[in-house]
Structure 1
Amino acid sequence: MKHSRRRLSAVLGLTAALVVAPAATTSTAATSATDSTYVVLYRQGASTADASQTVAAAGGTVVANYAEIGVIVARSANSGFANTVRKSGKVGGVSATAGFGIRNEPAATDDAAAVEAVQATWGDTLSGLQWDMVQINVPQAHAVTGGSSSVIVGDIDTGLDFTHPDLAPNYDAARSADCSSGSPTPLLPGNDANGHGTHTAGTIAAAANGSGIVGVAPNVKIAGIKSSNDDGFFFPEMVICSFMWAAKNGIDVTNNSYFADPWLFNCKNDPGQRAIWEAERRAIRYAQSNGVLVVASQGNDSTDLSHPTVDVISPDFPPGNEEEREITNACSVVPVEVPGVVGVTATGNLRLKSFYSSYGISTADVTAPGGDSILQRTPAAPNGRVLSTWPSAAFCNPARTVIDAGAKYCYAQGTSMAGPHAAGVAALLASVRDGSSGSLASRLQQSTNPLACPDTSIYAPFPQNSGAPQTCQGGPTHNSFYGSGEVDALKAVS
């Protein structure tokens, strides 16, 4: 069964005078319209000190030199650039990135649009609509702590509307950046063209300020790390830049709600895909080694990532080029299948896996509310979706839009909504306990309520991409649908 994909609309950004220290050696050379961007992967341990000369000799310029991980981002209009650079004994792989974007996980879709008001009983003016927070005991956790302002969560996404009244109090401008060029620049107003990043940021850290919603960790700081273009595609140079920025700027936790395009599964037996996989893996590993916990969404394709057999949606860039191809475990989804990344599946208000959520016994570490507008619409969640912050200029279906005190909020569903709940709980954990990213990941998996495999017959109308039914593997303490269980904010702070 194919799942619909959509391009993301663009909104023109504004400008502001902000200062961001560069995280890599960059070039100021102008880029022509015919230039292509390349990721140059140096062999493990090889120095990139002579990269400028190597790239220049091939007719290109260096955009960023991430010497710590042996990765160069370059641009060139020379069609023979890649072949020339590959001749260097230090270079292990070169790939043009135009066909290898990473895009935010699109919201699972259906025809339901009804939104009903629920009487507020806790938090701010819209908190009565936040069934997701009640489900993971956020109100009770806030009686203990709302987190520490010394904890920084980096939201690696489409951007962040830091002027939104629920986000402005917790926004950390110094640790925010726009990585859409492959090298960090200031994050300017109007940077989130489609709202996805603003939505995930609100779930993590919307301030408890008397109006709107409240995030899982309303006292921690939120840094926006824009890693997409305005069409919503996350190209490799952007993602590499984002993790290198997080590693060097004191980020404690990152939320990642995207998957690798145009190949949902990146197969290592393909030289181009392998170079991209290895470059991104190095950047993620570098961030982890610098204390960054990486939390990632599983995806919305109803697919068992631990036992993939077919990919029917790739390549999805340029649009319309999808072809069915057989795959194996040699093919992996970035970033959720990178070692050490905490993978998050989605639940609805009945604590069942959401109909769309991908899963896997080797990839699912925890689960969290992501919404389910088909199987799990309840009186508390009448449209099944998750409400969070939204930029005023970005489109949201009017039937799913809520305006409060002049600020905009939008209902959405997807594992993209589940990931930030887990990242928020991780931020609460980091607020009350010190430790490495590995120990934080372990404690997050312990701060859960186990869920046993459900009756999977309810998922019969939503088969995997291969057409096979969704099946749950494992026991109540760890299984492919829920990992160790649904995150619990109260357990995290107790």
Structure 2
Amino acid sequence: MKYSRRRLSAVLGLTAALVVAPAATTSTAATSATDSTYVVLYRQGSSTADASQAIAAAGGTVVANYAEIGVIVARSANTGFANTVKKSSKVDGVSATSGFGIRNEPAAADEAAVEAVQATWGDTLSGLQWDMVQINVPQAHEVTGGSGSVVVGDIDTGLDFTHPDLAPNYDAARSADCSSGAPAPLLPGNDANGHGTHTAGTIAAAANGSGIVGVAPNVKIAGIKSSNDDGFFFPEMVICSFMWAAKNGIDVTNNSYFADPWLFNCKNDPDQRAIWEAERRAIRYAQSNGVLVVASQGNDSTDLSHPTVDVISPDFPPGSEQEREITNACSVVPVEVPGVVGVTATGNLRLKSFYSSYGISTADVTAPGGDSRLQLTAAAPNGRVLSTYPAANPCARQVIDPGTGAKYCYLQGTSMAGPHAAGVAALLASVRDGSSGQLASRLQQATNPLACPDTSIYADFPQNSGAPQTCQGGPAHNSFYGSGEVDALKAVS
């Protein structure tokens, strides 16, 4: 399984509540269809104050100037733009970001019919939420559903903030559309894929009597759109998203994607290194401003701590991917950035999902993401996770709430696991103050340890290299589950 991405569709007028932060200077200059987007990485300590003039002299325009981290997002139709800008002694690297991409998280094929069942907890469709029962969310809600002063930023394909399960908790002032590389208002109809709306529901769907209930139904949810309409998370979008989160009071971010254009970013390659470093700077800046970053491991059944081959980069335009040998000099963003909480996926039998990537150095916790191949049960007959979905978006396994007519969709992936962990982190932040590092540590403690399973069950799902999946470590910490499966009740007790 590979990560997929999402899209955007900007409609109607501006949202007055959103303000572009002054530190990200933006350009309103129009660009042509032949323009390319570039990330310009300045050397540490170098000022970007003269970037507009330097970029203009090279035949480009500045989209955003993130002076705090020494990163410029620029546009240019000049094919010699990168070579010209690189000549500056202030510039450490320049990388074009357009024309490549790795998609967010496609769901595995599953033809099981969707059948509504009697609700046994919470809202009308809560009887379908095996995932919440598995991590003790109903019991946690007897203590607290979270605080309205806590804000989770869902860095994803967008957010249908009109959905009746999301509208009550939507924070418009802290939401943004970063698909251009500079923050803009998040408009209605922005989630043309549905992935972001799905992850947001798992985090913070309201306990309002209808539909589902999120892990933290009383916290605020901010949509931070970090992909284009075709579902690709390009570097300028990811950088913009973390800078926005850092400056706008976001407590936790959920990141269910790999940052394009390469699945594994190899720092010994000059083009990849500039992107890798620019994104790392943005993430570090967010962390230094109190943001806990939670990230999904991916759906390649691969040991990220011992990578040997990348077979899907770059995946846009179609047919561009090349099989290449890689080492630990290559890493996945954001999950392998220091301080990021990496999340693997489990199914309803509390086994690692067949598709979930893992790693002794990258897996911090695990959470329900679904498993339609190895873990079908009476509670999870199709193995997948149910959550909110835009009404206009197609879903092969949909459920319509009988009262509101709102749409819900079954999906699986580490993209579904990440928001469970982010929701538990939001509960933790609701009951106790602390730095992002302290919150990360508490999240890893609010778990139930799981020992390595018999890995022969994964024989039909080898790594990209063809090697079998193997689990390393003991119950206290291993490559499949990290410190264990998150437990919402432990978080609030």
Check conservation: 1:13, 1:191, Cα contact below 8 A.
no
Check conservation: 1:101, 1:236, Cα contact below 8 A.
no
Query: In the superposition, relative to structure 1, how do residues 59 and 298 fare at CA in structure 2: closer, same or farther (>3 Å)?
Result: same
Secondary structure, in 3 states, of the residue corresponding to 1:442?
A: helix
Over aligned residues, Cα RMSD in angstroms?
Answer: 2.1
Check conservation: 2:297, 2:363, Cα contact below 8 A.
yes
Tell me the distance in 1 between the aligned counterparts of 2:173 and 2:16: 14
Check conservation: 1:11, 1:230, Cα contact below 8 A.
no
What's the offset of the Cα at 1:103? 3.7
What's the offset of the Cα at 1:269? 1.3
Tell me the distance in 1 between the aligned counterparts of 2:405 and 2:263: 38
Query: In the superposition, relative to structure 1, how do residues 336 and 444 fare at CA in structure 2: closer, same or farther (>3 Å)?
Result: same
Q: Under a length normalisation based on structure 2, what TM-score does the superposition of the two structures give?
A: 0.96
Secondary structure, in 3 states, of the residue corresponding to 2:394?
A: coil
> Which deviations, in whole Å up to 9, do the C-alpha atoms of 1:156-189 show, x marking residues without a partner?
0000000000000000000000000100010000
Check conservation: 1:310, 1:326, Cα contact below 8 A.
yes
Secondary structure, in 3 states, of the residue corresponding to 1:103?
A: coil
> Which deviations, in whole Å up to 9, do the C-alpha atoms of 1:261-308 show, x marking residues without a partner?
342111111111100000000000000000000000000000000001
Q: Under a length normalisation based on structure 1, what TM-score does the superposition of the two structures give?
A: 0.96
Tell me the distance in 2 between the aligned counterparts of 1:342 and 1:3: 18
Secondary structure, in 3 states, of the residue corresponding to 1:233?
A: coil
> Which deviations, in whole Å up to 9, do the C-alpha atoms of 1:246-273 show, x marking residues without a partner?
0000000000001133421111111111
Unaligned runs of 5+ in 1: none
What's the offset of the Cα at 1:116? 2.6
Query: In the superposition, relative to structure 1, how do residues 199 and 368 fare at CA in structure 2: closer, same or farther (>3 Å)?
Result: same
Tell me the distance in 1 between the aligned counterparts of 2:127 and 2:176: 33
Check conservation: 1:23, 1:248, Cα contact below 8 A.
no
Which of 235-244 and 23-32 deviates more?
23-32
Tell me the distance in 1 between the aligned counterparts of 2:461 and 2:115: 26
What's the offset of the Cα at 1:53? 1.0
Query: In the superposition, relative to structure 1, how do residues 236 and 100 fare at CA in structure 2: closer, same or farther (>3 Å)?
Result: farther
What's the offset of the Cα at 1:108? 3.3
Unaligned runs of 5+ in 2: none
2:397 equivalent among 383, 397, 400: 400
What's the offset of the Cα at 1:217? 0.1
What's the offset of the Cα at 1:317? 1.4
> Which deviations, in whole Å up to 9, do the C-alpha atoms of 1:95-132 show, x marking residues without a partner?
11114546423333345x32233321110000000000
Which of 16-25 and 196-205 deviates more?
16-25
Check conservation: 2:300, 2:355, Cα contact below 8 A.
yes
Tell me the distance in 2 between the aligned counterparts of 1:23 and 1:353: 43
Query: Size of the alignment, in residue pairs?
Result: 491
Check conservation: 1:336, 1:343, Cα contact below 8 A.
yes
Tell me the distance in 1 between the aligned counterparts of 2:148 and 2:35: 42
Query: In the superposition, relative to structure 1, how do residues 4 and 440 fare at CA in structure 2: closer, same or farther (>3 Å)?
Result: closer
Check conservation: 2:5, 2:257, Cα contact below 8 A.
no
Query: In the superposition, relative to structure 1, how do residues 38 and 402 fare at CA in structure 2: closer, same or farther (>3 Å)?
Result: same
What's the offset of the Cα at 1:400? 0.8
Which of 59-68 and 255-264 deviates more?
255-264
The residue number in structure 1 matching 2:77 is 77
Tell me the distance in 1 between the aligned counterparts of 2:474 and 2:9: 42
What's the offset of the Cα at 1:7? 9.5
> Which deviations, in whole Å up to 9, do the C-alpha atoms of 1:328-347 show, x marking residues without a partner?
11111111001110000000
The residue number in structure 2 matching 1:309 is 308
Query: In the superposition, relative to structure 1, how do residues 214 and 20 fare at CA in structure 2: closer, same or farther (>3 Å)?
Result: farther
Check conservation: 1:20, 1:174, Cα contact below 8 A.
no
Which of 310-319 and 473-482 deviates more?
310-319
Check conservation: 1:301, 1:358, Cα contact below 8 A.
yes
What's the offset of the Cα at 1:323? 2.1
Tell me the distance in 2 between the aligned counterparts of 1:5 and 1:100: 12
Secondary structure, in 3 states, of the residue corresponding to 2:471?
A: coil
Query: In the superposition, relative to structure 1, how do residues 382 and 358 fare at CA in structure 2: closer, same or farther (>3 Å)?
Result: same
Query: In the superposition, relative to structure 1, how do residues 14 and 354 fare at CA in structure 2: closer, same or farther (>3 Å)?
Result: farther
Tell me the distance in 2 between the aligned counterparts of 1:210 and 1:201: 18
1:59 and 2:59 matched: yes
Which of 283-292 and 401-410 deviates more?
401-410
Which of 22-31 and 266-275 deviates more?
22-31
Check conservation: 1:10, 1:230, Cα contact below 8 A.
no
Query: In the superposition, relative to structure 1, how do residues 296 and 379 fare at CA in structure 2: closer, same or farther (>3 Å)?
Result: same
Check conservation: 1:203, 1:421, Cα contact below 8 A.
yes
